[in-house]
Amino acid sequence: MQSLPLSADLIADANARAAEALAEDYEALGRKLSRSGISIDIIKDRVAGFSVAVPSWGAGRGGTRFAKFPIAGEPTNIHEKLEDCAVIQQLSRVTPRVSPHFPWDKVSDYAALREEAASLGLGFDAVNSNTFQDQPGQAHSYNTGSLSSTIEATRLQAVEHNIECIEIGKQLGSRDLTVWVGDGTNFPGQQDLGRSLDRYLDAAAQVYAALPDDWRMLLEHKMFEPAFYSTVISDWGSSILAAQELGPKAKCLVDLGHHAPNVNIEQIVARLHRFGKLGGFHFNDSKYGDDDLDSGSINPHQLFLVFNELVEAELNPRDGFDPAYMIDQSHNVTDPIESMLSSAEAITQCYAKALLVDRAALHAAQQANDTMIAFQALRRAYTIDVSPIVAKAREDAGGAIDVLAAYRTSQWRNRKAQKRKTVGLGAGIV
């Protein structure tokens, strides 16, 4: 039995106030697009098929390593996080899955957790392991690294934790294990750069061997932080080499904030896809490093160019193109629900814009080396305001036309502030 957090009346009332304007805008955009031979309804139907998972850890205020400023009513456990994710899904209709992180989201009964999520209209996405922090009572510290540690018992503990995550994921209905390790060094000479990768590959192969047939292992690279001189899986090159060595079920995951500054991320996407190794995404935005800012808030054009490659990849699937899309953000100064609503909308809008690119014209111009016309094919799609398409897809699916207005009307956070316990201070997610 489903018991959704917001009442259907609340969404219907909010939509009643916005429906007439949306119908007008949708019709006007439809007329404009039809002049270019595009059916707005077909684009809207493809947009309706798009979804992106939300991270359980993004439901709380993230903070930085300096401080975390909690807000009243923020969730403090997986059950409350699921409730908040259900609010995001109810309003946006584009975030039907939650990506859990262990041991943060540990419970005693995962079958019950799966049912609880289903009753809130949610499923589970990739399971994330955590060998970048020590947990109370843990036998071996990760202060020497995890899968690449020089200490065998530590490596074994990290392997076992990942296998435990797979076991949990099976019960939750997940099909992907995302592995990001904090392993690396702060000093030249601290570790042998070749041997540490050998140890990582050896341990990762033990995790890989425990994957069920229909599972994938998503390797997430990150250039720096918490290690600041070298990291063991530092970039997409290390990631694809490791994935190729591990086998066909190993793929690469691109977190938009995990690259060297100014790297051409859309080209990385195209490269990984070319070799059948693009497994997933962590969407966020970044100005300096792994800033985990809201998707599309800093560089929306880059997000569009990434989606342009993803739409190309959809048209040219290699090795079962099916990337796991997920938001991975740290919400330091906003209500996390509002950030994820706004981010899910920004991400979906970039997908819609990428669908509007006249690919025949683009490819012809590329072939003819007509640079300006090729660029204009992208520019034309990027400058179209696709918000009526995305809002209409939401409305059709029972979501809110104006997600933020409906959320504010619901008074969700204030209501939860009366019931949920206060979150402690401290550093947050980095």
Q: Binding residues for ligand RM4, per CB under 6 A?
A: 57, 101, 128, 180, 220, 222, 255, 282, 290, 328, 429
Phi and psi angles of residue 97, each rounded to the nearest 5 degrees, phi first = -130, 150
Least separation in angstroms between CB 180 and ligand RM4: 4
How far apart (Å, rounded) are the C-alpha atoms in residues 206 and 181? 15
Which residue has the closest beta carbon to ligand RM4? 180
CA diameter of the chain: 66
Least separation in angstroms between CB 80 and Mn ion: 22
Least separation in angstroms between CB 406 and ligand RM4: 29
How far apart (Å, rounded) are the C-alpha atoms in residues 344 and 53? 9
Least separation in angstroms between CB 285 and Mn ion: 12
Least separation in angstroms between CB 344 and ligand RM4: 18
Q: List the single partner that 312 binds among ligand RM4, Mn ion, none, CB under 5 to 8 Å by kind.
A: none
Mapping DSSP to helix (H, G, I), strand (E, B) and coil, where does residue 407 land?
Answer: helix
196 CB-near residues (< 8 Å, 6+ apart): 145, 148, 183, 185, 232
47 CB-near residues (< 8 Å, 6+ apart): 348, 351, 352, 355, 389, 390, 393
Mapping DSSP to helix (H, G, I), strand (E, B) and coil, where does residue 330 land?
Answer: coil
Of residues 221, 213, 108, the one with CA closest to residue 166: 213
Least separation in angstroms between CB 255 and Mn ion: 4
Tell me the two tokens of residue 43. Answer: 């684009």
Sign of CA dihedral 124, 127, 133, 136: positive
Q: List the single partner that 429 binds among ligand RM4, Mn ion, none, CB under 5 to 8 Å by kind.
A: ligand RM4
Applying the rule CB under 5 A, the residues between 245 and 264 that interact with Mn ion are 255
290/294 with CB nearer ligand RM4: 290
Applying the rule CB under 5 A, the residues between 286 and 305 that interact with Mn ion are 290
282 forms part of the interface with Mn ion (CB under 5 A) = yes
Tell me the two tokens of residue 178. Answer: 């995302």
101 forms part of the interface with Mn ion (CB under 5 A) = no
Q: List the single partner that 128 binds among Mn ion, ligand RM4, none, CB under 5 to 8 Å by kind.
A: ligand RM4
285 forms part of the interface with Mn ion (CB under 5 A) = no
Applying the rule CB under 5 A, the residues between 309 and 348 that interact with Mn ion are 328
Residues at the site binding Mn ion, with contacts judged by CB under 5 A: 255, 282, 290, 328
